[in-house]
Amino acid sequence: MEVLIPTRLSILGHPQRLALFRLLMRRYPDRVPASELAEALGLKRNTLSTYVHALLQVGLVTQERAGTSLRYAIDMDAARETIDYLLNDCCRGRPEICAPAADPTPEGDKRMTDKRYNVLFICTGNSARSIFAEAILSDIAGERFVAHSAGTKPQSQLNPFAIEVLEHKGHDVSALRAKNIAEFQRAGAPEFDFVFTVCNRAANEECPSWQGQPISAHWGLPDPAAVAGSDAEKSLAFHQTYGALRNRMSAFAALPLAALDRMSLQQAVDQIGQTQEEGPSA
């Protein structure tokens, strides 16, 4: 398989193919429709097809048809194999020179310590889904987690349907506000243990650099604000989104963090992000 590595590196040497690879890495383990990839990267469909084909040929991505749509995902085994090849080659006999990029802690030995963890939920507008996540986690597990939320392009006000749902569920909304992600990249900002994106648009955008190498995952859900119809139909969409996020927060809060190594924890949060069930509307 090492014979493929130089070809993979050559493929990734093209800026737009690398951008496609990085976007799919951010969305892993999601399978992303070709139309969404083209829109996120500002590419024509035929241009995207050329880039995707190159990544498919060297095994870095996989393809799946869903109806009339083609969806793509990273082949994580191939990606790890390629990255490991570089790290093992440069670090052989000199692990200290790769310490900033490669975690020097032996695999399986690194555990989350027993502490109060900082968690950040990111969405584009920070007006509904990420606000739901912040409020839910704070209420059900505030003794273990300090929850924050932010938007890449935050709205000036929180969505009124979101506020209505939170109040109906008994949450205190007085301290909730829309915040720009830049607020958490300044000096003195919390160092996060976990960073989750809860909408596809935010996940598709360029990742900021976070101190401390937090565990990250994509927990995308459809935007309830995009639902058309009567106020009752819109309210139902927000209640369903709230329920789905509450289920995910409950599963996350139940993880035995201190007992899991980093790889096991990453797999666990990725799996939580794949759940699509709706929570109770009551």
* pLDDT score at 204: 87
* pLDDT score at 149: 97
What's the CATH number of domain 117-272, 3.30.559.10, 3.90.1300.10, 3.40.220.10, 3.40.50.2300? 3.40.50.2300
Nearest CA among 121, 245, 143 for reference residue 195: 121
Q: State pLDDT tens for residues 71-84.
A: 999 999 999 999 88
Instruction: Report residue 16 as tokens.
Output: 């737009």
pLDDT band at 278; cut points 50, 70, 90: very low
Q: Where are the alpha helices (DSSP H) in the chain?
A: 5-12, 15-27, 34-41, 45-57, 76-91, 129-141, 160-168, 200-204, 231-253, 262-272
Q: Which of 28-37, 195-204, 240-249 has the highest mean pLDDT?
A: 240-249
Q: State pLDDT tens for residues 56-66.
A: 999 999 999 98
Q: Which of 63-77, 155-169, 243-257, 267-281 has the lowest mean pLDDT?
A: 267-281
CATH architecture observed for domain 2-76? Orthogonal Bundle (1.10)
DSSP 215: E
pLDDT band at 12; cut points 50, 70, 90: very high
* pLDDT score at 107: 46
CA 80/CA 76 separation, integer angstroms:
6
Query: Which one is predicted more confidently, 103 or 85?
Result: 85
CA–CA distances in Å: residue 56 to residues 49, 66, 117, 217, 263: 10, 17, 38, 24, 26
CA–CA distances in Å: residue 132 to residues 7, 135, 153, 229, 238: 44, 5, 17, 22, 10
Instruction: Report residue 242 as tokens.
Output: 């709230």
Instruction: Report residue 58 as tokens.
Output: 């060297």
Residue 247 has pLDDT above 80, yes or no: yes
Q: Give me the count of residues in the chain.
A: 282
- Can you state the percent helix, strand and coil of the chain, rounding each to 5? 50, 15, 40
Sequence ranges of the domains in the chain:
2-76, 117-272
Residue 215 has pLDDT above 70, yes or no: yes
Contact 29, 270 (CB under 8 A): yes
Locus of tokens 């929850």? 147
Residue 279 has pLDDT above 90, yes or no: no
pTM of the predicted model as reported, rounded to 2 decimal places:
0.77
Q: What percent of the chain has pLDDT over 70?
A: 87
Locus of tokens 């006999």? 93
DSSP 83: H
Residue 276 has pLDDT above 80, yes or no: no
CA 63/CA 40 separation, integer angstroms:
18
